[in-house]
Amino acid sequence: MIRVHAKAVFRVLASAVAAAALMCGANAWAAHAFSLYDTPRYPAGFSHFDYLNPDAPKGGDLYLANPDSRTSFDKFNPFSMKGVAAAGVSNLMFESLAISSTDEVATMYGLLAEDMVLAPDRLSMTFRLHPKARFNNGDRVLPEDVKYAFDTLMAKGAPQFKMIFADVKQCVVVDGTTVRFDFKSANRELPLIVGGMPVFSRKWAAGTPFDKIQLTPPISSGPYLIEKYDLGRSIAFRRNPAYWGNDLPVRRGAFNFDRIVYRFYKDDVARLEAFMAGEFDVVVEYRAKNWARAYKGKPFDTGEIIKTTLKHSNGAGMQAFVMNLRRPQFQDARVRRALGLALDFEWMNRQLFYSQYARIDSFFSNSELGAHGAPSEAELKLLEPLRDQLDPAVFGPAPLPPNTDAPGSLRANLLKARALFKEAGWEYRDGALRNAKGEAFSFEILDDQSALSRIIAVYVRNLEKLGVRVSQRTADFALVQKRMEEFDFDMTSQRFGDVTSPGNEMFDMLGSKAADEKGSSNYWGLKDPAVDNLVTALVRADSRAELVAASRALDRVLMHKYIVVPHWYSATHRVAYRNRFGMPKVSPKYYQADPYVISSWWQVKPRKAK
Residues above pLDDT 90, as percent of the chain: 75
Residues above pLDDT 70, as percent of the chain: 94
Q: How far apart are CA 101 and CA 589, in angstroms?
A: 10
Instruction: Report which of residues 70 and 527 the model is more confident about.
Output: 527
Greatest Cα pair distance, the chain, in angstroms, is 77
Radius of gyration in angstroms for the set of CA atoms belonging to the chain, rounded to a whole number: 24
Q: What does the DSSP assignment read for 483-508?
A: HHHTT--SEEEEEEPP-SS--THHHH
Backbone angles phi and psi of 472, in degrees to 5:
-100, 135
Average pLDDT over residues 90-99: 97
Q: How confident is the model at residue 411 (pLDDT cuts 50, 70, 90)?
A: very high
Q: How confident is the model at residue 6 (pLDDT cuts 50, 70, 90)?
A: very low
Instruction: Report which of residues 6 and 527 the model is more confident about.
Output: 527
pLDDT score, position 14: 32
399 DSSP 8-state letter: P
Q: Which helix (H) or strand (E) holds 446?
A: strand 442-447
Q: How far apart are CA 47 and CA 221, in angstroms?
A: 21
pLDDT score, position 27: 35
Name residues whose C-beta falls within 8 Å of residue 85's C-beta, 6 or more positions apart in sequence: 73, 75, 76, 77, 78
SS (H, E, C) 57-125: CCCCEEEEECCCCCCCCCECCCCCCCCCECCCHHHHHCEECEEECCCCCCEEEECCEEEEEECCCCCEE
Q: How confident is the model at residue 610 (pLDDT cuts 50, 70, 90)?
A: low
- Angle ∠(471,473,479) on CA atoms, nearest 5: 150
Name residues whose C-beta falls within 8 Å of residue 358's C-beta, 6 or more positions apart in sequence: 366, 568, 569, 570, 571
pLDDT score, position 15: 32
Given a cut of 50, whether residue 26 has pLDDT beyond it is no
User: Helices then strands (H, E): number in the chain?
Assistant: 18, 27
Given a cut of 50, whether residue 507 has pLDDT beyond it is yes
Taking Cα atoms as reference points, which of 294, 567, 323 lies closest to residue 452? 567
Average pLDDT over residues 201-224: 96
Given a cut of 90, whether residue 159 has pLDDT beyond it is no
The predicted-structure confidence for 227-274, as pLDDT tens digits, reads as follows 999 998 999 999 999 999 999 999 999 999 999 999 999 888 899 999
- Alpha-carbon dihedral sign for residues 145, 151, 156, 159: positive
The predicted-structure confidence for 31-40, as pLDDT tens digits, reads as follows 898 887 778 8
Q: How far apart are CA 88 and CA 108, in angstroms?
A: 22
For the packed helices 333-341 and 410-423, what is the interaxial angle rounded to 10 degrees? 160
Average pLDDT over residues 2-16: 36
Backbone angles phi and psi of 515, in degrees to 5:
-60, -30
Q: How far apart are CA 95 and CA 221, in angstroms?
A: 6
**Burial group, residue 207, by CB count within 10 angstroms (0-12, 13-18, 19+):** exposed
Average pLDDT over residues 90-102: 95
Average pLDDT over residues 15-29: 33
Q: How far apart are CA 336 and CA 283, in angstroms?
A: 36
Pair 274, 280: CB distance under 8 Å: yes
- Angle ∠(225,230,231) on CA atoms, nearest 5: 110
Q: How confident is the model at residue 3 (pLDDT cuts 50, 70, 90)?
A: very low
Average pLDDT over residues 157-186: 93
> Going by DSSP bridges, is the β-strand pair 564-566/568-569 parallel, antiparallel, or unpaired?
unpaired
Q: pTM for the full model?
A: 0.77
The alpha carbon of residue 323 and the mean position of all alpha carbons in its chain are separated, in whole angstroms, by 19
Average pLDDT over residues 155-163: 89
Instruction: Report which of residues 135 and 186 the model is more confident about.
Output: 135
Given a cut of 70, whether residue 557 has pLDDT beyond it is yes
> Going by DSSP bridges, is the β-strand pair 442-447/469-474 parallel, antiparallel, or unpaired?
parallel
pLDDT score, position 522: 95
Q: How far apart are CA 180 and CA 147, in angstroms?
A: 9
Per the prediction, the chain carries an average pLDDT of: 90
Residue 458: count of CB within 10 angstroms of its CB: 17
Instruction: Report all structural domains of the chain as residue ranges with CATH numbers, in order of start.
Output: 20-263+573-603 (3.40.190.10), 318-569 (3.10.105.10)
Helix, strand or coil for residue 44?
coil
The predicted-structure confidence for 266-310, as pLDDT tens digits, reads as follows 888 899 999 999 999 999 998 888 999 999 999 999 999 999 999
Q: How confident is the model at residue 110 (pLDDT cuts 50, 70, 90)?
A: very high
Average pLDDT over residues 393-405: 95
Residue 209 preceded by cis peptide, ω within 30: no
